[in-house]
Structure 1
Amino acid sequence: MKFDKKENIFLFSVDLEDVRLRVNDGLRYKPSVEKLTEEYLDFLNLYKAKATFFTVGDIPKHYPDLIKTITAEGHEIACHSNKHIPVTRQSEEEFRDDLQRNMDNLYNAGAKELIGYRAPTYSITKDTEWAFGVLTDLGFKYSSSVLPAKNPLYGWKEFGEDPRKMNTDLWEIPVSLREGRFFKVPFSGGVYFRFLPFYFIKKSFNFHYNKNRAITSYFHPYDIDTEQEKFMHPEINDNWIYNKLMYFNRKGVYPRLHKIMDIFNPSIITYKSYIELLNEGK
């Protein structure tokens, strides 16, 4: 697949996980991941686009046909850990074991090739840089696991905002950021995409495209789940204010995405395709 150097590239991706599985007694809430994934696939088909689904290892257990559905439509499956444990909470040995289990579960479910990885909550930092060696050992060709700024959760301020070759075999593609009021924010995914004013998101896309940068993103099934029952989301330290944000403006995701597509007419491609461009020097 050929792309012009000046073409706007949008690395649309889904962090494919079922948040219920990380909540106490979460299975009592209704399942929705399959339906929501189909909605994402419909959106991508509308624009004749292929995207990357960074997938948690327990997804095949609960949705055994979902991996086959995604791959059958030509999208990329990548790894997102087995149990969604941040890298900072694991030893190198634990990280390797968790990732191997993630790969095994996805291959057993029908994944064809696993060359990409995203750490839960972008938790590869300077202190966990050893993770790149493990990824290389296991045959990965890229990671998208660094938030290159100071951040309340995880950040690697000195990393830089452009893709970087971490060794001869592995690229790191950091999440796209834009200067906010208090710190740089990942404007093109998750709660930020739902909460930030659209004019800020539009300016941020324009800023990066003017620099000929691809824009990364990360969406979850729950980001578009307007019918999800209310419960305290995991990994937010039981903060009720942030939990309220987790439900904020889910109905606005698709209208905003369609506006981005109308304004910038970007090419949505997989991370695998983008890596091929980087290796070609484009």
Structure 2
Amino acid sequence: MKDVQTCLNAMTVDVEDFFHVSAFDKIIKPQDWDQYQPRVDGNTRRLLDIFSRHGVKSTFFVLGWVAERYPELIKEIHAQGHEIASHGYAHRRATEQDRQTFLADVRRSKNHLEDLLGEAVIGYRAPSFSIGYSNEWAFEVLAELGFSYSSSTYPVKHDLYGTPDWPRFAYQRAEQIMEIPIPTLKMMGRQIPIGGGGYFRLYPYALTHYLVNKYLDKEKQPYSFYFHPWEIDADQPRLNNASAKSRFRHYVNLQHTESKLDRLLQDFRWSTMKDVYGVNV
């Protein structure tokens, strides 16, 4: 099977630091974040260099907490022609918030990013893909705040997230917002997660390459990929008091991510969410 070279796919980055991730939320509380030495600025600038080397533009879903502390980083991402979108403010899963708390969190992030950039921010991604069966009202909030699209659902079964019987491809919701799910591939009666993140680090690159090609060939839909700046940082601190499962999820194959990413960027065509899916303000 040959590469499906004619399809333009969406490259995305969730801009957060290693101490923000859901895998560690049982041992690190938001009030303790300032106790850790941030690494997100340097890691994200490394990613900008990697994208520049490959001539790739990406969508950066920026955590508001990061944007407040590193405004020059966000301006530099934007200046290099990438899309800036919102990842909320405090990296709290949407399923753990009521409507008003969610509204305040997302509004704070969106307003700050728009003040920095002087233009509308039209995309949003919930931490840990945490819009689902129990909080569909979140789409109403996003539409109310002026977002044009969301990428906040993953149609798989997972202990932290998952809407396995929801649509697998980009679709317009009744709330007048486009939802762009993380991609899955149907194989042997199951929906296999192929969207990036920990699965990208876990799978050998040859398997990722095969699965992405198969998805493009079979579904005739754009593919979207996500990962985080900390995933190219093999030298980040090790949190040994986390559970074995959390440590595995977070640290597996960090040393190989950058070389795999180089190959992925070379083997397929990439652009931003708004360009790939034709989203307008």
Q: For the superposition of Structure 1 and Structure 2, which TM-score range results when normalised by the shorter chain?
A: 0.7 to 0.9
Give distance in 2, aligned partners of 1:31 and 1:15.
Answer: 15
CA gap 1:135/1:202 in 2 versus in 1, 3 angstroms: same
CA gap 1:111/1:203 in 2 versus in 1, 3 angstroms: farther
- Which residue is 1:274 aligned to? 276
Give the letter aligned to residue 116 of structure 1.
Answer: G
Match runs of 1:130-149 below 5 Å: 130-149=137-156
Contact 1:142/1:275 (<8 A) preserved: no
Give distance in 2, aligned partners of 1:111 and 1:122.
Answer: 27
What secondary structure sits across from 1:11 in the alignment? strand
Give distance in 2, aligned partners of 1:188 and 1:253.
Answer: 14
Give the letter aligned to residue 260 of structure 1.
Answer: L
- Which residue is 1:257 aligned to? 261
Q: Does 1:161 align with 2:168?
A: yes
Give distance in 2, aligned partners of 1:244 and 1:19.
Answer: 14
CA gap 1:254/1:244 in 2 versus in 1, 3 angstroms: same
- Which residue is 1:224 aligned to? 232
Cα shift at 1:41: 0.8
CA gap 1:72/1:213 in 2 versus in 1, 3 angstroms: same
CA gap 1:131/1:97 in 2 versus in 1, 3 angstroms: same
Cα shift at 1:167: 2.8
Give distance in 2, aligned partners of 1:111 and 1:218.
Answer: 26
Give distance in 2, aligned partners of 1:124 and 1:231.
Answer: 28
Give distance in 2, aligned partners of 1:172 and 1:32.
Answer: 31
What secondary structure sits across from 1:150 in the alignment? coil
Give distance in 2, aligned partners of 1:91 and 1:29.
Answer: 28
What secondary structure sits across from 2:226 in the alignment? coil
Contact 2:185/2:191 (<8 A) preserved: yes
- Which residue is 2:221 aligned to? 213
Give distance in 1, aligned partners of 2:145 and 2:180.
Answer: 18
Cα shift at 1:191: 1.3
Pairwise CA RMSD: 2.4
What secondary structure sits across from 2:256 in the alignment? helix
Q: Which moved more, 1:76-85 or 1:247-256?
A: 247-256
Number of aligned pairs? 268
Give distance in 2, aligned partners of 1:190 and 1:172.
Answer: 19
Q: TM-score, normalised by structure 2?
A: 0.87
Percent identity of equivalent pairs: 32
Q: Does 1:126 align with 2:128?
A: no
Q: TM-score, normalised by structure 1?
A: 0.86
Give distance in 2, aligned partners of 1:257 and 1:52.
Answer: 15
Contact 1:17/1:221 (<8 A) preserved: yes
Give distance in 2, aligned partners of 1:167 and 1:271.
Answer: 20
The counterpart of 1:75, out of the listed 79, 82, 85, is 82
CA gap 1:212/1:182 in 2 versus in 1, 3 angstroms: closer
Give distance in 2, aligned partners of 1:61 and 1:133.
Answer: 26
Give the letter aligned to residue 106 of structure 1.
Answer: L
Contact 1:122/1:145 (<8 A) preserved: yes
Cα shift at 1:27: 3.7
CA gap 1:170/1:244 in 2 versus in 1, 3 angstroms: same
Q: Which moved more, 1:196-205 or 1:86-95?
A: 196-205
Give distance in 2, aligned partners of 1:182 and 1:29.
Answer: 44
